[in-house]
């Protein structure tokens, strides 16, 4: 008879697994299957088995981690460790090494059942055991020893089906699962044990015999049926004086006599044991493959919500509150985010860790779509609604992977006159009250960070005015326990000053003076305090009137929080470290010698990073129809660049995969938000857009055609509620110009005609016709406000087609051009101006910023959004006008200069009847009532 040699089958399994792991790494660069082994105590036999497993894992290419808890570990300690491993996406399988060697009482069954079934590569949990007993072999992990036994039986070439099999042993680790495994492979199975009275007789009937009784040489050779396959799982020690240890290892079968009758038999040691280890590796690789299949980037399994449309369309808040959003952790899972990449803020919103970018760095980006608009009326033309409608159409109706990336609204407009910014009708981000109110506190963090800088500026001026150089130095670099040392940020200031010293005692008097005195010129301070409320009476204030300020007063002001440079930095940063560096570069004033004073000079950079460490993470929400949304950052579209964050876009583009779509919105009309999206955001992000969606309305075109003024809170004149094709046709001059503006950057344009109930078919058809004649790739009528994604299907299909069209994206200007030339290019090419005029203050700033080294920054024009020109009363597409530039400011940290065109305030005032008149808590539900 032949003795079945195990070495070759074990080697075949390991070679196969090694090849599979290599293929995974090639397909998913940087990926390795992860195995964790949790041990309690320090048993010698457990250490031996664990070392075997670690060695096998290293040979195959599996990343193995041995977690060792002391024998004083409690059940709670073990469960806590298991919970951590369950949540770790780098661990695809883990085992708890048994027995648990602890001084404390530990329920082994409770421990094994705490292991997540999808990671239970030992197959010991009740869920996996139950699936095996039911025959669900493809949906469970099988205990490694029985799995190894089956592999050995297969290696003999003997068919299991129809054979009579006997299993001796009934443990949950070997005997019971071995019985089930043979049964579901169509053998006729009998389970025996030490108490079976007819054991020899039953063994004599077995074509396949698996012994796991734990009794040395219990099965005698003469019992075995001639030609049987014998798998011996026993490991027993018997006395042997010929061995140095005084004992030798034997199995549960009397090997010498059994091999005379069996056709195949496994030796002990060196038989089942190595194959058990090989099967543990195989299960780990299988688990990793399932993980990759489940979390393959761009492979979404998403559940969409069905809308129940009502006519007339209810208020936005009614629609939002009638929707039952999916739990946000479900949304995160659907789009391929790992549990440890998501920080839940309640049930409906979450923050996403930036680490996802590193995990997906080798994945291709999806299609990048920007939604902009024609020059709007004060009421807005529905860019946010169109953005949401488009993603609902692409996702819930065309089943494309799609993300919306939108800005977080300011409390100012929410409580002022505009209301919320979550979209409208059946195209909203939900819950809209959470979207509009606080969200996850990002704007409050910006307020705190901004005002810390403001406080630091005035405090530094005060202290420099009231203290000597040495007193300042002693306070800035104090002696702590007899030791004085510079902080990291102070080292950076010394290096900036050209002082290459690290010993505080080594500075000369002149160097101490340079170090301690920022010498801020109060008249050059550009950094203002902010708050997220429309408080017009803080537009100009006098600070420092308390007697404690010793007569140091100056005129200052409050701006609205979203106009803060910190908000602009948040929107343009592409990593936490990048955000911190940008904070350090922010220029807050000039010294009396004309040198820029930065946040780093003030010493606040690290503190700003700490205040903003959570705000830098994008916020995950969803639309009414269950498509994912990132809500992140909300810079003003006039003072700043008016786009949501680079980070949100980058993460979304990786998550949707190469065939998916990311739809983001640029604030105000194309002449402002889109121009800044291209020239500033895309310049810093390195992302290249595929399609521009230009939103137009009949209402706005009638205004541009000469219709009467449109005023928020006032009923529309009849010209806007009755058909007037002449006004529409005349107003299309603005549409034509904005199409040209988009085409100037080399990107296909799709016009979305956002239909209102007062629009006629003839008016809508006229706009579509004009748009196509003006060179749009396509133009379609949209009814998404009343119908949700269904009403934007034509738009979605047009965007799909446009994304396949040739795109030759280009910037409008080279940043190396002089400041004045860049401003002139934007004014002439985008606005249609004849020329620009720099007022004296603006001329001075051009000279100053060029001298300070900021002349090569992009330009972020701050002008009215109600006209292509600087005059909000000039509608249509004005030409032959001179654009006045009254001043220029620098947002050096964000990375742009912003010329001020005309007059405007960054602290809007509350209207006579603000939106908050309608907002209240529901007395029954405790929810929010009101008309957003």
Residue 900 near residue 889 (C-beta atoms within 8 A):
yes
Looking at residues 140-156, what average pLDDT do you find? Answer: 93
- The 10s digit of each residue's pLDDT in 679-720 is 999 999 999 999 999 999 999 999 999 999 998 778 999 999
Looking at residues 469-491, what average pLDDT do you find? Answer: 94
Between 270 and 751, name the one with better pLDDT. Answer: 751
* Residue 469, H or E segment: helix 469-476
- The 10s digit of each residue's pLDDT in 105-141 is 999 999 999 999 999 999 999 999 999 999 998 889 9
- The 10s digit of each residue's pLDDT in 807-854 is 899 999 999 999 999 999 999 999 999 999 999 999 999 999 999 999
Which positions ≥6 away from 830 have C-beta within 8 Å?
A: 671, 675, 741, 744, 812
Check residue 909 and report its DSSP letter: P
863 as an active site residue: the answer is no
Confidence of residue 350 (pLDDT cuts 50, 70, 90): very high
Annotated catalytic residue within 10, 53, 326, 681: 53
Residue 37 near residue 63 (C-beta atoms within 8 A):
no
Percent of the chain scored above 90 by pLDDT?
Answer: 83
Q: Of the candidates 740, 805, 860, 792, which has an alpha carbon nearest to the alpha carbon of residue 627?
A: 792
Confidence of residue 788 (pLDDT cuts 50, 70, 90): very high
Confidence of residue 721 (pLDDT cuts 50, 70, 90): very high
DSSP one-letter string for 396-433: IIT---EEEEEPPPPHHHHHSSS---SEETTEEEESHH
Q: Of the candidates 268, 144, 184, which has an alpha carbon nearest to the alpha carbon of residue 218?
A: 268
- The pLDDT of residue 9 is above 80: no
Q: What is the pLDDT of residue 907?
A: 60
Hunting for tokens 């808590």 — which residue is that?
A: 921
Which positions ≥6 away from 3 have C-beta within 8 Å?
A: 259, 264, 265, 267
Chain-centroid distance, C-alpha 409:
19
How many angstroms separate the CA atoms of 206 and 263, rounded? 12
CA triple 866-372-699, angle to 5 deg? 50
Residue 824 near residue 831 (C-beta atoms within 8 A):
no
Measured from the Cβ of residue 927, the count of other Cβ atoms closer than 10 Å reads: 11
Confidence of residue 84 (pLDDT cuts 50, 70, 90): very high
Which positions ≥6 away from 685 have C-beta within 8 Å?
A: 572, 574, 646, 649, 650
Mean of all residue pLDDT scores within the chain = 93
Q: What is the pTM of this model?
A: 0.87
Measured from the Cβ of residue 485, the count of other Cβ atoms closer than 10 Å reads: 13
Residue 649 near residue 370 (C-beta atoms within 8 A):
no
Tokens of 845: 């700033």
């Amino acid at each position: 008879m032949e003795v079945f040699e195990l070495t070759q089958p074990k080697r075949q399994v390991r070679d196969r697994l090694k090849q599979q792991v290599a293929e995974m790494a090639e397909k998913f660069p940087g990926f390795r299957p992860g195995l964790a082994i949790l041990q309690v105590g320090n048993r010698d036999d457990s250490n031996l088995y664990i070392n075997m497993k670690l060695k096998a894992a290293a040979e195959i290419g599996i990343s193995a981690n041995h977690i060792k808890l002391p024998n004083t570990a409690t059940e709670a300690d073990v469960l806590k460790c298991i919970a951590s491993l369950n949540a770790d996406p780098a661990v695809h399988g883990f085992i708890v090494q048994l027995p648990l060697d602890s001084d404390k009482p530990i329920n082994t069954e409770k421990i094994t059942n705490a292991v997540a079934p999808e990671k239970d590569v030992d197959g010991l949990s009740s869920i996996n055991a139950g699936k095996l007993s039911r025959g669900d072999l493809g949906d469970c992990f099988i205990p490694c020893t029985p799995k190894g036994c089956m592999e050995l039986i297969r290696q003999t070439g003997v068919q299991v089906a129809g054979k009579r099999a006997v299993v001796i042993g009934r443990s949950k680790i070997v005997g019971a699962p071995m019985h089930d495994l043979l049964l579901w492979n169509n053998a006729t199975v009998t389970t025996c044990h030490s108490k079976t009275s007819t054991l020899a007789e039953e063994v004599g009937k077995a074509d396949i015999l698996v012994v796991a009784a734990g009794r040395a040489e219990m099965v005698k050779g003469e019992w075995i049926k001639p030609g049987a396959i014998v798998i011996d799982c026993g490991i027993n020690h018997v006395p042997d004086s010929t061995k140095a240890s005084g004992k030798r290892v034997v199995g549960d079968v009397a090997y010498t006599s059994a091999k005379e009758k069996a056709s195949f038999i496994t030796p002990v040691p060196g038989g089942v044991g190595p194959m058990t280890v090989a099967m543990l590796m195989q299960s780990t690789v299988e688990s990793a493959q399932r993980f990759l299949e489940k979390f393959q980037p761009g492979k979404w399994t998403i559940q969409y919500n069905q809308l129940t449309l009502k006519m007339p369309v209810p208020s936005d808040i009614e629609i939002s509150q009638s929707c039952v959003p999916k739990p946000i952790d479900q949304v995160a899972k659907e789009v391929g985010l790992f549990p440890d990449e998501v920080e839940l803020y309640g049930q409906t919103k979450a923050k996403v860790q930036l680490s996802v970018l590193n995990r997906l760095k080798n994945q291709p980006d999806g299609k990048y779509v920007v939604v902009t608009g024609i020059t709007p009326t004060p009421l807005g033309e529905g860019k946010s609604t169109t953005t949401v409608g488009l993603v609902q159409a692409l996702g819930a109706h065309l089943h494309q992977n799609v993300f919306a990336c939108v800005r977080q609204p300011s409390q100012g407009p929410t409580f002022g006159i505009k209301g919320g910014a979550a979209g409208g009708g059946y195209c909203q981000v939900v819950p809209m009250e959470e979207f509009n109110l606080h969200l996850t506190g990002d704007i409050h963090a910006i307020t705190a960070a901004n005002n810390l800088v403001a406080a630091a500026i005035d405090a530094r001026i005060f202290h420099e005015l009231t203290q000597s150089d040495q007193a300042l130095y002693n306070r800035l670099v104090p002696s702590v326990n007899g030791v004085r040392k510079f902080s990291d940020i102070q080292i950076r200031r010394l290096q900036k000053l050209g002082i290459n010293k690290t010993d505080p005692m080594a500075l000369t008097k002149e160097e101490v003076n340079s170090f301690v005195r920022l010498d801020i010129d109060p008249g050059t301070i550009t950094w203002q305090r902010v708050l997220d409320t429309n408080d017009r009476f803080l537009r100009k204030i006098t600070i420092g009137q308390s007697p404690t300020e010793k007569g140091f007063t100056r005129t200052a002001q409050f701006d609205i929080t979203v106009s803060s440079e910190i908000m602009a930095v948040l929107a343009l940063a592409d990593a936490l470290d990048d955000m911190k560096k940008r904070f350090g570069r922010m220029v807050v004033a000039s010294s009396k010698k004309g040198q820029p004073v930065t946040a780093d000079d003030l010493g606040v950079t690290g503190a700003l990073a700490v205040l903003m460490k959570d705000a830098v993470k994008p916020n995950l929400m969803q639309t009414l129809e269950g498509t994912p949304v990132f809500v992140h950052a909300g810079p003003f579209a006039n003072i700043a660049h008016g786009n949501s964050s680079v980070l949100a876009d980058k993460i979304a583009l990786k998550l949707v995969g190469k065939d998916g779509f990311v739809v983001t919105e640029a604030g105000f009309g194309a002449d402002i938000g889109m121009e800044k999206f291209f020239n500033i955001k895309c310049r810093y992000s390195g992302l290249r857009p595929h399609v521009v969606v230009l939103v137009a309305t009949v209402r706005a075109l009638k205004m541009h055609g000469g219709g009467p003024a449109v005023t928020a809170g006032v009923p529309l004149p009849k010209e806007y509620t009755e058909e007037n094709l002449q006004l529409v046709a005349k107003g299309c001059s603005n549409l034509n110009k904005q199409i040209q503006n988009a085409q100037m950057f080399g990107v296909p344009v799709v016009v979305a005609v956002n239909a209102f109930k007062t629009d006629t078919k003839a008016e809508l058809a006229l706009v579509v016709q004009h748009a196509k004649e003006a060179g749009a790739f396509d133009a379609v009528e949209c009814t998404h406000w009343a119908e949700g994604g269904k009403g934007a299907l034509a738009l979605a299909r047009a965007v799909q087609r446009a994304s396949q069209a040739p795109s030759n994206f280009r910037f409008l200007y080279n940043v190396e051009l002089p400041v004045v030339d860049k401003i002139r290019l934007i004014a002439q090419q985008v606005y249609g101006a004849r020329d620009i005029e720099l007022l004296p203050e603006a001329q001075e700033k051009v000279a100053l910023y060029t001298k300070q080294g900021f002349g090569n920054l992009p330009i972020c024009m701050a002008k009215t959004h109600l006209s292509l020109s600087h005059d909000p009363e000039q509608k249509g597409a004005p030409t032959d006008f001179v654009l006045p530039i009254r001043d220029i400011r620098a947002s050096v940290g964000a990375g742009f200069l912003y010329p001020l065109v005309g007059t405007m305030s960054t602290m809007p005032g509350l209207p006579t009847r603000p939106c908050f008149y309608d907002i209240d808590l529901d007395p029954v539900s405790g929810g929010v009532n009101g008309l957003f």
